[in-house]
Amino acid sequence: MFEELFGTKKPVIGVIHLLPLPGSSRWDGQLEPVIARAEQEAAALTTGGVNGIILENFFDAPFTKARVDTATACTLTLIVRYVMSICNLPVGINVLRNDALTAIAVAATTGASFIRVNVYTGAMLTDQGIIEGQAHDLLRYRRELLAASSIKILADVMVKHADPLSATSDIRQMAKDTVYRGLADGIIVSGTATGSSPDLAQVQAVREAVPDTPLFIGSGINRTNIASMLSIADGAIVASSLKREGILENPIDVERVKSLLSAMHS
């Protein structure tokens, strides 16, 4: 299903880290710079050759662990729709820290293709406190919105900046629960923090546990490891290594995007 969506067997999805939005503690009242940067980064990702884009309210940190503010949801809808109007790539949404219900609502409203959910099944101890999975509520809401066939769910397994609250931390069993009990459309394996790469052995373990489920790398992809990671995984979600001078707060650099894609194809 993802090969059809992204038009390639090994999609690279670029991330737009949105500047602080209304409803966050860092919002400064100026929407124009937020839209302008999203436009610049969408253009850089598209020109650089990625196969999809995902938007995150990344600079809204510190995040709420529950539903985001209504103003945040409204602004996300506005920006997602704008980005979709200027590029022809599949677009996804991740509402941090774990507001999958808002993500699916924004996707259904705008026509976006997929969402990312950090904690989909189980429970994780995070810097926002204990966050519980919401697979049941999310799948039911997706059906209510008549979007079950059009919006795909990418769910993290052992998401970064979190530790599992379970009797076992076996990533293989957690992957199976996410797919076979949570019914995620695809899964994501990340490192321990933003910009950190996952352990290749863990990626392989997840691949073996759920061999028929699309598997994406969710952090730490760069020129030197993209080939090894995608020799196991089916795709990658990339942000940090695409930033100007490699600095997380900087905007995306189109030359870094091209360089990453060149390394993958070579």
On the CB side of 257, how many CA atoms lie within 13 Å of its CA? 24
Instruction: Average the pLDDT over 190-198 and give the result.
Output: 87
**Domain residue limits, the chain:** 2-265
User: What pLDDT, on a 0 to 100 scale, did the predictor assign at position 78?
Assistant: 98
Over residues 117-154, the pLDDT tens digits come to: 999 999 999 999 999 999 999 999 999 999 878 999 99
Give me Rg for the CA atoms of the chain. Answer: 17
Helix (H, G, I), strand (E, B) or coil at 189: strand
Query: Closest by alpha carbon to 89, among 121, 42, 131?
Result: 42
The band of 1, judged by pLDDT with boundaries at 50, 70 and 90, is confident
Residue 201: which H helix or E strand, with range?
helix 200-209
User: What pLDDT, on a 0 to 100 scale, did the predictor assign at position 147?
Assistant: 84
Q: State the chain's mean pLDDT as an integer.
A: 95
- Please indicate whether residue 191 or residue 47 has the higher confidence score (pLDDT): 47
Query: Closest by alpha carbon to 5, among 84, 63, 62, 89?
Result: 89
The band of 169, judged by pLDDT with boundaries at 50, 70 and 90, is confident
User: What pLDDT, on a 0 to 100 scale, did the predictor assign at position 167?
Assistant: 65
Beta carbons within 10 angstroms of residue 62's beta carbon: 11
Query: Closest by alpha carbon to 57, among 13, 7, 99, 28?
Result: 99
Contacts of 222 (CB under 8 A, 6+ apart): 197, 241, 260
135-149, 153-167, 181-195, range with the lowest pLDDT: 153-167
Q: What's domain 2-265's architecture?
A: Alpha-Beta Barrel (3.20)
Rounded to whole angstroms, how far apart are CA atoms 1 and 154?
A: 12
In this structure, the chain runs to a length of 266
Task: Compute the C-alpha angle 215/77/72, nearest 5°.
Answer: 95
Over residues 3-56, the pLDDT tens digits come to: 999 999 999 999 999 999 999 999 999 999 999 999 999 999 999 999 999 999
159, two tokens: 């998401």
pLDDT at 238 over 90: yes
Rounded to whole angstroms, how far apart are CA atoms 216 and 203?
A: 9
DSSP state of 240: G
Over residues 92-117, the pLDDT tens digits come to: 999 999 999 999 999 999 999 999 99
